[in-house]
Amino acid sequence: MLALLICLAAAVEIHAVDPLTQANEAFRKAEYSKAAELFQVAAELEGRPEYRAEIWVKLAWTRFALQQRDKAETALLAALKDRPNLELSPDYYSDEFLALFSRLKAQAAGSGGASFRTVTPESLAALRSRADLAADPAGLDAILAELDALEPSMPQALLPQLLDLRATILERLGRSEQALEALGKAAALRVAQTAAGTPAIPLETIVEGRRLTAAGQPSDAAALMRGVLAALPSCGPALEVLGEAYLALARYEEAQAALRAAILADQRPDLFLSLGEVEIRRGNPAGAREAFRRAAELDAANERALAALGLLAAAGGDLSAARTALDAALAINAALFEAQVVRGQLALADGDAAAAVRALQRALQIRPDDGWARGWLGCAMLAQGDAAAAEELLRGTDPRMPTFTVFRSEALRRLGRSAEALALLTPLLPAKEAALVAARSSLDGNDPDAAARVLAPVLLRDPADGRVRYLQAAVLAASGDHAGALAELERAMSLPGCPPAASAAATNLRATLQAEALMQSAARPPRQPAHR
């Protein structure tokens, strides 16, 4: 009944596991693609160059294992940039990987002379002029190499300008994500230079990241935030936007890592709500429940947290907790659409059709054209006995949703349109709910043989369902086997799901059998007296 949109699996409680630990564990399990993603996040979040270099090496070794040589080279160059004197132990890496590292280190050392040049606004302007005049990618790549060599000795006041120039060149080369990273870092450095003891938060860049995510460009938003975090590793708003961007990209491990880091900086209810959504997508209901609980604990009047707890409880089968949480959420904000729909489903499961109708009508006031709410209102109307209204509401629902098709078929059957009901149900057979309505429709059409054929596979699959046994009794009775029907009814009444009408039906069958017995005895000729 409660077919929610949350797909859940068994899971563990939330623990503050950092992305580096998760990456090491994934690598140990040979989950290299996952490990690479997490090493990337860990490197972006690490603000100390000496430690970040070690993470870059781990990322490079993982990329190498995935046969992504170009990405391995990029990671090794990043490691050498953070720690130019880096050495690798031959005990841990293959000869081919060590040869690659040695070659890149020699190249970096060969171009390192530029890092001792005196960098001035004039020299940057000269590089910018050269970039403007560069006519091919090779010329632009050469200027990029010079900028990389200049950066370590760049005065902090000029570093944002260098990054702006790098972004311009990267954009011309079609490397837009790298360009956005450079722009994000430049913006963060500018704010850091003027923060004067206050928290450095590049608000305009954060707003742009949110805009990009909302505009369907989460990859660009993530790149921009990675740039901010390269300069400000503990910037909570940037971590939050990064987590939201990764969530939109379905990169759930990275989203989880970013949001947990954001929570360490600022424990806000909305961050826990975002983390809970990520945990649901990861198939971790226990983690989602804990995140939503923490959000509600921080803000007892947070209707979104209460609604999320209620929806999660409903999906997990804890209907009592679901009712409590959803009622609390709706008391604060009756315009919570999904909460209203699920509250209607719960009322329907409780047998309170009137309450279900009220909740679902409120949901449709919020979203008048929503097929999900409209379909469940049709189900509630049917439970209330209004088959005509139910059929009208269910008629336009998505035919790919079999639950609504079954309910519409039942409405048609009650309206005396059994042939239409059977036509709708045929593609769904032999599913049990469809078979039960099909059997009733066949019985309504005085075709017990067809009803028996529909019920036969269901009876084999689920002989302990009282509804199935009850209908089998009806089939036997319609076929004239009253004794068999009574035996089937008595069996049905001992099973869960048997309709309350079974008791009265059994009484009627006993009366029928008694009448048949009397008729049989009355039809016998009297015995002749014996002659002496």
Q: What are 318-348's pLDDT values in tens digits?
A: 999 999 999 999 999 999 999 999 999 999 9
Please identify, among 110, 144, 163, the residue that sits at the C-terminal boundary of a domain.
Answer: 110
Q: Is the pLDDT of residue 1 over 50?
A: no
Evaluate whether 61 touches 80 at the Cβ level (below 8 Å).
Answer: no
- Quick one: pLDDT band at residue 111, thresholds 50, 70, 90? low
| Dist. CA 294–CA 302, nearest whole Å | 11
Q: Is residue 519 part of a domain?
A: yes
Tell whether 372 is covered by a domain.
Answer: no
pLDDT at residue 359 above 90? yes
pLDDT-derived band at 3 (thresholds 50, 70, 90) equals very low
* pLDDT given for residue 528 in this prediction: 63
Q: Is the torsion defined by CA of 450, 451, 453, 454 positive or negative?
A: positive
162: closest CA among 191, 119, 111, 195?
A: 119
Flag whether 85 is in a domain.
yes
Q: Which domain holds residue 508?
A: 462-523
pLDDT in tens, 240-268: 999 999 999 999 999 999 999 999 888 99
Residue 523: pLDDT band (50, 70, 90) is low
- Which CATH number is 51's domain given? 1.25.40.10
Specify the pLDDT at position 110.
61
| Confidence band, pLDDT 50/70/90 cuts, at residue 527 | low
Residue 405 pLDDT > 80: yes
Q: Among 65, 85, 110, where does a domain finish? A: 110
Instruction: Look over the chain and give the mean of its residue pLDDT values, rounded to a whole number.
Output: 88
> How confident is the model over 125-170, as pLDDT tens digits?
888 999 999 888 988 988 888 888 787 777 888 899 999 999 999 9
pLDDT at site 90: 82
pLDDT at 198 over 90: no
Which residue, 79, 110, 141, sits at the end of a domain? 110
Rounded Cα–Cα distance for residues 220 and 212 (Å): 7
Residue appearing with tokens 């708003």:
237
Tracing tokens 């939050």 back to the chain, one arrives at 240
In terms of Cβ atoms closer than 10 Å to its own Cβ (0-12, 13-18, 19+), residue 530 is: exposed
Q: What is the pTM of this model?
A: 0.69
In this structure, is residue 222 part of a structural domain? no
Q: Are 24 and 40 in contact (CB under 8 A)?
A: no
In a domain, 455, yes or no: no
Residue 14 has pLDDT above 70, yes or no: no
- CA trace torsion 371, 376, 381, 387 (10° rounding): 70
Task: Choose the weakest-confidence range: 206-220, 276-290, 312-326, 505-519.
Answer: 505-519
Total domains, the chain:
2
Question: Can you tell me which residue has the tokens 């009253």?
Answer: 482
Q: Is residue 42 part of a domain?
A: yes
